[in-house]
Amino acid sequence: MSTPLGPIVDGQSRLRSGYKTLAETWAVVKEDWRDGRRERFERDRLRALGPSLTRLSNALDNLRDCIIYADRELADTDQDLE
């Protein structure tokens, strides 16, 4: 038995790519948007996004590792029965 990890890896890659695009776009936008509303938006919405996505990415790494470990354990069990 081998669990396909492609969807996890693909989702993680898409999150990273999307965040990179957002950060690049935001850097351009904030140069022209200089008021209190921008500062509030950045503080209230964007600042926590990076750390949250990092935690999510780490959780996906852990999930992937757990799945790999479980697959190995199941494979070893199958061999012991033969």
pLDDT value of residue 54: 94
Q: Got the DSSP string for 39-71? A: HHHIIIIITTHHHHHHHHHHHHHHHHHHHHHHH
Domain that includes residue 69, residue range? 6-17+28-81
What total number of domains does the chain contain? 1
Q: Is there a domain that residue 35 lies in?
A: yes
Residue at 62 is within a domain: yes
So what's the pLDDT on residue 2? 81
Looking at residue 3, its pLDDT comes to 84
Using one digit for the tens of pLDDT, what is the confidence trace for 66-80? 999 999 999 876 565
* 49, part of any domain: yes
Question: pLDDT at position 81, please?
Answer: 55
Q: 56 and 15 in contact (C-beta within 8 Å)?
A: yes
**Is the pLDDT score of 8 beyond 70?**
yes
The reply to whether 45 falls in a domain is: yes
